[in-house]
């Protein structure tokens, strides 16, 4: 249940990025989460709902977008969407010498505010 | 409604703390190893065999993560090695360790007392893999009483690990455990992962594990001429 601490960190990152007045106006938080991470979107949403009441984000909701994993093949150089997760292999040449493009990360992409 | 781009990593505070901590470990010539596994794979038993085998040339320090109780820390307190326990209950019973908590625990230790710091993460293969602890390397411990398909079920932990230590190998014959299948599955997730088979009970393979730890410490401390 690390979604609870991920929700806590999400809130504190937003509290660092925006003023109290701005936080109050946030209606929606758009989050991007890699398909390869172990996060369960429903659990993150539940954790966020449980925590937001105590914060200035109480009126906001979470929109979680699961980002497909992209692979760079070290053998043939192609870039592709990983289609055999959790196994990471190149769909072009079949090599398993592949790197995940970018990091397996969780990102706050944007917020939507009322003006 | 107005959209404002944020583009911030949710775990950026932990990532920053972990990077800083890794720098401190290196500066103090301490090789930090994060141990991840399911509950009951034998992390603490493995450390009980490892710590005396590394002595006297390499001394160990241990940060012991548990949701509650200090049973594991007590088990390890019989060795001449500093042990600091982190209970995550005050942090909401979290199932992983974070860099900031490890930083605090490390500050309670005298880094001149040890060359290797073992960070025994909470027994769990999902959550710890998401949080950088600041360690130089990650080891995943799996025992042969678990399934050969663990790497496929918990890919991130195996992807993030440098070495897989396969414990309880003295039980392989009784269990019909398919060792080649486990290795194949782990390599499907992480082609570069090293592996070792050990038994913390019989002591089998501990010499190779200790050899790996010595090699890693030597690399960190600049070829062993410290």
Q: Give per-residue pLDDT as tens, B185-218.
A: 999 999 999 999 999 999 999 999 999 999 999 9
Q: Tell me if B187 sits within 8 A of B36, measured CB to CB.
A: no
Chain B residues within 8 A of A93 when measuring between CB atoms: none
C-alpha distances in Å from residue B180, one per residue of B162, B177, B199, B204: 18, 9, 17, 18
> Tell me, what's the pLDDT at B150?
95
Q: Per CB distance under 8 Å, which residues of A are interface residues toward B?
A: 1-2, 4-6, 9-10, 12-14, 17, 27, 31, 36-39, 85-89, 96-97, 104-115
How would you label A85-97 residue by residue, b for 16+ Cβ within 10 Å and e otherwise? Answer: ebebbbeeeeebe
> What pLDDT was estimated at residue B222?
86
CB contact at 8 A, A4 and B92:
yes
Note whether B95 contacts A: Cβ–Cβ < 8 A.
yes
State the pLDDT at residue A46: 96
CB contact under 8 A, B4 and A2: no
Residue A1: which of B95, B152, B189 has the nearest Cβ? Answer: B95
For residue A104, the model assigns a pLDDT of 66
How much is the pLDDT for A49?
A: 96
State which H helix or E strand residue A32 sits in: strand A26-34
Tell if the CB–CB gap between A87 and B98 is shorter than 8 Å.
no
Q: Which of A9, A96, A110 sits opposite B5 (nearest CB)?
A: A110
User: How far apart (Å, rounded) are the C-alpha atoms in residues A55 and A25?
Assistant: 12
Which member of B13, B154, B188 has the closest CB to residue A87?
Answer: B188
Beta bridge partners of A79: A72
Cis status, amide bond into B165, omega within 30 of 0: no
Tell if the CB–CB gap between A5 and B129 is shorter than 8 Å: no
B115, B104, B140: which is closest to B56 by C-alpha? B115
* Model pLDDT, residue A1: 64
Residue in A38, A72, A103 to test binding to B, most B beta-carbons within 10 Å: A38
What's the confidence (pLDDT) of residue B24? 98
- Partners of B101 on chain A (C-beta within 8 Å) are none
Alpha-carbon span A54 to B112, nearest angstrom: 43
Q: Which residues contact A96 (CB under 8 A, 6 or more apart)?
A: A87, A88, A89, A90, B187, B188, B191
- Measured distance CA(B116)–CA(B58) in Å, rounded: 7
To test the contact with chain A by mutation, choose from B7, B10, B122 the residue with the greatest count of A C-beta atoms within 10 A, namely B10
DSSP A89: -
Strands A26-34 and A106-113, bridge-based pairing = antiparallel
The low-confidence residues of chain B, meaning pLDDT below 50, are: 224-226
Question: Is A108–B7 a contact, with Cβ atoms under 8 angstroms apart?
Answer: yes
Say which residue the tokens 């009322």 belong to. Answer: A114
Q: Whose structure tokens read 């659990």?
A: A43
Query: Which pLDDT score, from 0 to 100, does residue A101 have?
Result: 82
At B66 the pLDDT is: 84
**Chain A positions in Cβ-Cβ contact with residue B94 (cut-off 8 Å):** 2, 4-5
What's the confidence (pLDDT) of residue B214? Answer: 98
Closest in B10, B129, B152 to A106, CB measured? B10
pLDDT score, position B226: 43
Q: Is the pTM of this model over 0.90?
A: yes
Give the strand order in the sheet containing B31-37. Answer: B83-87, B60-66, B116-120, B31-37, B137-143, B163-167, B194-197
Task: Quick: pLDDT tens for A42-97.
Answer: 999 999 999 999 999 999 999 999 999 999 999 999 999 988 888 888 998 988 88
pLDDT the model gives residue A85: 86
Burial class (CB in 10 A: 0-12, 13-18, 19+), B60: buried
Which strand (E) or helix (H) includes residue A113? strand A106-113
Q: Regarding predicted confidence, which is higher, B145 or A2? A: B145
Q: Are B158 and B164 in contact (CB under 8 A)?
A: yes
Report chain B residues whose CB lies below 8 A from the CB of A6.
Answer: 10-11, 130
Give the minimum alpha-carbon distance from A45 to chain B in angstroms, rounded to a whole number. Answer: 14
Widest distance between CA atoms in chain B: 66
């Amino acid at each position: 249940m690390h979604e609870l601490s991920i929700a806590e960190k999400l809130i504190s990152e937003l509290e660092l990025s925006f003023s109290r007045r701005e936080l109050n106006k946030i209606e929606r938080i758009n989050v991007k989460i890699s398909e390869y991470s172990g996060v369960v979107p429903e659990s993150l949403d539940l954790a966020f709902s449980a925590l937001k009441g105590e914060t200035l984000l109480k009126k906001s909701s979470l929109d979680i977008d699961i980002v497909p994993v992209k692979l760079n093949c070290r053998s043939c150089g192609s870039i592709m969407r990983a289609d055999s997760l959790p196994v990471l292999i190149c769909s072009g040449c079949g090599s398993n010498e592949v790197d995940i493009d970018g990091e397996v990360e969780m990102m706050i992409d944007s917020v939507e505010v009322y003006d | 409604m107005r959209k404002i781009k944020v583009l911030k990593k949710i775990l950026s505070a932990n990532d920053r703390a972990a990077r800083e901590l890794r720098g401190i470990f290196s500066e103090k010539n301490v090789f930090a190893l994060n141990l991840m596994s399911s509950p009951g794979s034998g992390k603490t038993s493995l450390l009980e065999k490892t710590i005396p085998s590394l002595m006297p040339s390499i001394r160990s320090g241990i940060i012991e993560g548990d949701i509650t109780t200090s049973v594991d820390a007590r088990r390890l307190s019989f060795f001449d090695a500093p042990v600091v326990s982190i209970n995550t209950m005050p942090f909401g019973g979290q199932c992983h360790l974070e860099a900031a908590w490890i930083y605090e625990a490390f500050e309670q230790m005298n880094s001149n007392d040890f060359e290797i710091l073992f960070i025994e993460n909470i027994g769990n293969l999902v959550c710890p893999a998401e949080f950088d602890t600041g360690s130089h390397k990650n080891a995943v411990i799996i025992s042969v009483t678990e399934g050969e398909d663990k790497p496929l079920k918990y890919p991130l932990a195996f992807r993030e690990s440098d070495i897989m230590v396969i414990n309880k190998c003295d039980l392989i014959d009784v269990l019909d455990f398919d060792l080649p299948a486990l290795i194949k599955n782990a390599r499907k997730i992480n082609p570069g992962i090293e592996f070792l088979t050990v038994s913390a009970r019989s002591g089998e393979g501990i010499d190779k594990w200790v050899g790996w730890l010595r090699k890693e410490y030597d690399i960190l401390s600049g070829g062993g001429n410290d």
